């Protein structure tokens, strides 16, 4: 009991000197406490704050709801820091539900902060956007000499930096390329060209092109229709 009393006294002392600075700066210190598991309710439970979901990926133009919750019996203030357009706000005991509209930025961090007995905690959520390819098209292979040229078009995809394009022959990976060096933040068309030596084992195999967007906690896949590698006019 004595130590609990001391703790609340310390909290009151801290309350007299609420830290300044940006929510971003505070967040780095307080994240550990903010994300610690909630203790059973009771006035003596340490103050915690949470945001849900912490990470979400949505198509551009979507709206997103974030639930900022805390265990403060008498919160003095609850704020959301974001550059995104705000929509509705709903609230209940221990939570505030914020709507964000027309999310188009590739990646946005949103901060929710709550002040309880003078102590302020901040929780962070990250909202990413993506656009599934409009189409994945593998051109009919062109045989020249003893090489096939395979060309795969991935259209209207975003973000290209999180895209991996893979060519498969049957179940076998022929070629795979990660486009992480492309940091452009616009919808883009991507054409992948690969030259394949014509070998008997490749013939009459269906070849497909696979586009995979790897977002945090979400994988979006699109495949082309298969094309056949045929011997053409050149005997092997």
Ligand X SMILES: *[C@@H]1O[C@H](CO)[C@@H](O)[C@H](O)[C@H]1NC(C)=O
Q: What element of type H or E holds 14?
A: helix 2-15
Q: Toward ligand X, which CB reaches closer, 90 or 173?
A: 90
Say whether residue 95 binds ligand X (CB under 6 A): yes
Question: Least distance (Å) from ligand X to the CB of residue 210?
Answer: 19
Say whether residue 189 binds ligand X (CB under 6 A): yes
Alpha-carbon distance of 210 to 165, in angstroms, equals 6
- The answer to whether 205 and 228 are in contact (CB under 8 A) is yes
Choose the stretch contacting ligand X; rule: CB under 6 A; options: 1-9, 88-96, 215-223, 225-233.
88-96
Say whether residue 67 binds ligand X (CB under 6 A): yes
The conformation of residue 149, written as its DSSP 8-state character, comes to E
Alpha-carbon distance of 223 to 191, in angstroms, equals 14
Choose the stretch contacting ligand X; rule: CB under 6 A; options: 55-63, 90-98, 171-179, 195-203.
90-98
Q: Toward ligand X, which CB reaches closer, 35 or 67?
A: 67
Question: Least distance (Å) from ligand X to the CB of residue 129?
Answer: 17
Q: Toward ligand X, which CB reaches closer, 67 or 108?
A: 67
Alpha-carbon distance of 20 to 41, in angstroms, equals 29
Q: For the chain, what's the residue count?
A: 236
CB atoms within 10 A of CB 219: 10
Contacting ligand X (CB under 6 A), which of 35, 79, 97, 126? 97
The conformation of residue 162, written as its DSSP 8-state character, comes to G
- The answer to whether 75 and 116 are in contact (CB under 8 A) is yes
* Count of residues touching ligand X (by CB under 6 A): 8
Question: Least distance (Å) from ligand X to the CB of residue 123?
Answer: 12
Say whether residue 222 binds ligand X (CB under 6 A): no
């Amino acid at each position: 009991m004595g130590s609990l009393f001391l703790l609340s006294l310390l909290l009151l002392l801290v309350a007299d000197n609420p830290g300044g600075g940006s929510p971003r700066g505070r967040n780095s210190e307080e994240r550990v406490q903010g994300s610690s598991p909630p203790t059973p309710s009771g006035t003596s439970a340490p103050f915690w704050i949470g945001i849900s979901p912490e990470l979400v990926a949505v198509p551009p133009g979507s709206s997103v709801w974030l639930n900022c919750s805390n265990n403060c019996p008498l919160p003095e203030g609850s704020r959301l820091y974001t550059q995104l357009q705000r929509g509705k706000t709903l609230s209940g005991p221990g939570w505030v539900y914020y709507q964000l509209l027309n999310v188009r930025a590739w990646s946005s961090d949103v901060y929710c902060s709550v002040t309880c007995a003078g102590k302020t905690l901040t929780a962070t959520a990250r909202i990413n956007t993506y656009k599934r390819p409009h189409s994945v098209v593998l051109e009919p292979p062109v045989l020249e000499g003893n090489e096939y040229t395979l060309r795969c078009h991935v259209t209207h995809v975003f973000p290209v930096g999180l895209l991996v394009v893979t060519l498969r022959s049957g179940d076998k990976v022929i070629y795979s390329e990660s486009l992480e060096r492309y940091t452009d933040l616009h919808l883009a068309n991507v054409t992948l060209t690969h030259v394949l030596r014509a070998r008997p084992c490749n013939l009459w195999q269906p070849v497909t092109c696979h586009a995979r967007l790897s977002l945090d906690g979400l994988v979006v896949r699109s495949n082309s229709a298969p094309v056949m590698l045929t011997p053409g006019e050149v005997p092997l």
